[in-house]
Chains A and B, each alone.
Chain A
């Protein structure tokens, strides 16, 4: 679909949020609480904060909740019944205020959850979610989107992308049919777009490293000492994966009280020792350095090779959340240093 441009007034957003909610859609937007900004359900636009670079946690939970019942079961003395997930119970949602990196992150998740085995739960959630992103006009030292081919004004993954023109107005780029549906439904809120140079409106995030110096070059360094070197500080807490918009690893567990039960999928992290531990006690990734390597390779080698998409969108969340200052951008830069040695 060709991208169509509109004008959306800041004042119209109030109405938009209200109407979306009235329409039965759950609206998630960045909300500031105790000085951290995270996506939370909002019923009115003013609950949303404007003061954020990116949220602490990514927005992935809307399509890939931290815990999801994937099927249910019932037990009687001699019988077991399985109940499929009721996909129709998944609500319509709108994500407002995602950044272009966040939106791009959904593409990565999708590449994991689709493929030859299609995870319909994810797919349905995504289908029912409209993503209205806002371009970045600011960035911080942890951001490195432009180094991984994501643009602070990029439309990939968004259904609508808003870019701030001035204090009162947004440029609204209608990227997908889903976005268009919203515009059509609430057309009174949208105006004709002015002619603007979008690039001048978004942040100018410097390119910090040359991606091509990494791509295709890390895998041969599988046994390099650099992994140990970089990860000595890492305490294996897994936080990076939990906040990351593209980490999709999960665990499946059953809970049951003997009468009823659910099979649940929940977030997991390759940073954990237990993630790959065999019941025999053998563990193929038994040190933190191997697990750190897995994280980098997963994003920069395995996902790109399998799905033709880079596994990291440069949002920098992992680095911000890490309590021991494992800075991904810095690590990538010195990785390049090592590779070019």
Chain B
């Protein structure tokens, strides 16, 4: 321990914070808190100049503790820890006060928000007095990788790793590789054949000696930690096998949504209302036909079915608009005289070449009609005999503000993509959280989209969020780059925020052993005390709160630190 010399940096985040919090006043008042040596405010603390400012101050004022009061630590804690490292200060001598997500963005009264900011910063300062430099432990990395899900993203990752001569275990739930991609005929924007791409990849997968393929297999439990995971699987027609691996790639994709609940579209009621996935299979088989075998004369494609809909999936499924355009083109080629309708809510054709595809399509006698996704969805009814078609789609065309009846013999619903049936289990097994949409949460949405909060576990492809094939592939490659990097280093650092037992106090009741979810605690019968394996410990702190004599404490979230934060928070409030 030495006397804390604290530097405090209050960030404006442009106007994000500064608009609602008087950052200058906060920085000024904070100067009176004991042990604060420097207190500054600055436009963007996370920018290079912002970080340099901290580095310079550390050198100039011999600072040994840094508090940054800015956005959520979930976003920039790592950034600033690296800054500290650069300045040769232990990265754990750092604390963030969240005055953006928890303050400026959620409050409307500037005086109140400023007051709250002061309290939060004072609490962080008081707490940091008791921060200690922590050691990060290094663990050896088993060079094998487990990949869960053999869609295009899983396959890409597997091949990439196997080509680098490292072992891969591929677990696929179904009886074939390829996922949805295996069901796609042509891919947008250039309408090239997907199977010509995918086929050879699957062949390579089968041949590669570095890849052990387990089809029709599921994962039940994974134990261990980065570099040293283990699982036992029971492949179909095979014996129980134990696998050890150092990293995990989760690539279980999404599934298409069953649109029956949207009764206005009559899915299940009208035989020729089909989903995009069903249509894609039709395309792949080369035979586009109605259920009765006849050729459709009027074909309508309805967008955003269950997507961008508050009642079902609020998020955009991202690929459907372009896929729908792809269909219009393929339909036009197949039926030069058919009437093709695109009923859309908004036309979202991001990505290279996609807006062009829209232009091309619109020149192909495809009728585009817009509906109000929020308030007024189209409805399908059975047509009358003299209507000359099977079904009539009723809609209030949004742009012309006219009620329109669209004849249809076949309706393709561009359905939403949602989490797979087993996604919760997979999330739990791998220790990754899901968001409300059952999409895996990435470590950082912008800066670290393939890693997760559990080290050694990556999520790639559409299970992380709906995406196209190239995006899925890029993510897979990004994750592989990370994994190969760790394998090459041979070791990984595990966080220093682990629990530890004071053996002079432990009374050997062994209660902590039963609560630890990672079996990190064992009993030393000779000394009659419990001991924690720092590598296994994930720092949840459950044992800390349980231990009656307080023999256990936890680095980085010690009782001392938390009480200091708490008292200052309340006293300065």
Contact = CB atoms under 8 A, between A and B. Distances in A.
Interface of A: 75, 77, 257-259, 281
A258 B32 contact: no
Interface in B548-573: 567-568, 571
A259 B567 CA distance: 11
A259 B32 CA distance: 12
B504 A258 contact: no
A78 to B, nearest CB: 8
A259 B34 contact: no
5 contacts: A77-B33, A257-B567, A258-B34, A258-B567, A259-B571
Interface in B1-57: 32-34
Contacts of A77: 32-34
B126 interface: yes
A94 B325 CA distance: 99
Given A257-B567, A257-B571, 11 more contacts: A75-B34, A77-B32, A77-B33, A77-B34, A258-B34, A258-B126, A258-B567, A258-B568, A258-B571, A259-B571, A281-B504
A232 to B, nearest CB: 22
Interface residues of B, number: 8
A252 B458 CA distance: 55
Interface string B366-407: 000000000000000000000000000000000000000000
A77 B39 CA distance: 14
Nearest to B32: A77
A171 B115 CA distance: 69
A258 B33 CA distance: 10
Contacts of B126: 258
A57 to B, nearest CB: 30
- Of A257, A258, A281, the most chain B CB neighbours within 10 A belong to A258
Nearest to A281: B504
A257 to B, nearest CB: 6
Contacts of A258: 34, 126, 567-568, 571
Interface in B288-331: none
Nearest to A280: B504
A258 B571 CA distance: 9
A259 B571 CA distance: 9
Contacts of B568: 258
Going nearest first, the 4 A-B pairs with the smallest beta carbon separation are A77-B32, A77-B34, A281-B504, A257-B571
B17 to A, nearest CB: 25
Nearest to B36: A77
Nearest to B564: A258
Nearest to A259: B571
A257 B569 CA distance: 12
A75 B568 CA distance: 14
Contacts of B567: 257-258
A75 B32 CA distance: 12
Contacts of A75: 34
A220 to B, nearest CB: 36
B302 to A, nearest CB: 64
B564 to A, nearest CB: 9
A281 B32 CA distance: 39
Contacts of B571: 257-259
B334 to A, nearest CB: 78
A305 B33 CA distance: 53
Interface in B118-135: 126
Nearest to B568: A258
Contacts of B32: 77
A257 B567 CA distance: 8
A161 B32 CA distance: 59
A70 to B, nearest CB: 23
A77 B567 CA distance: 17
A257 B564 CA distance: 10
A257 B34 CA distance: 13
A95 B287 CA distance: 108
Contacts of A281: 504
A23 to B, nearest CB: 42
Interface string B161-201: 00000000000000000000000000000000000000000
A55 to B, nearest CB: 35
B549 to A, nearest CB: 12
Nearest to B35: A77
A258 B570 CA distance: 12
A258 B34 CA distance: 9
A303 B360 CA distance: 107
A107 to B, nearest CB: 41
Contacts of B34: 75, 77, 258
A116 B33 CA distance: 42
Interface in B492-518: 504
A77 B35 CA distance: 8
A223 to B, nearest CB: 28
A257 B32 CA distance: 16
Contacts of B33: 77
A104 B571 CA distance: 47
Interface in B97-138: 126
A205 to B, nearest CB: 46
A77 B568 CA distance: 14
A277 to B, nearest CB: 11
A77 to B, nearest CB: 5
B572 to A, nearest CB: 10
Contacts of A259: 571
B27 to A, nearest CB: 15
A106 B67 CA distance: 55
A10 to B, nearest CB: 54
Nearest to A75: B34
A281 B504 CA distance: 8
- Of A77, A259, A281, the most chain B CB neighbours within 10 A belong to A77
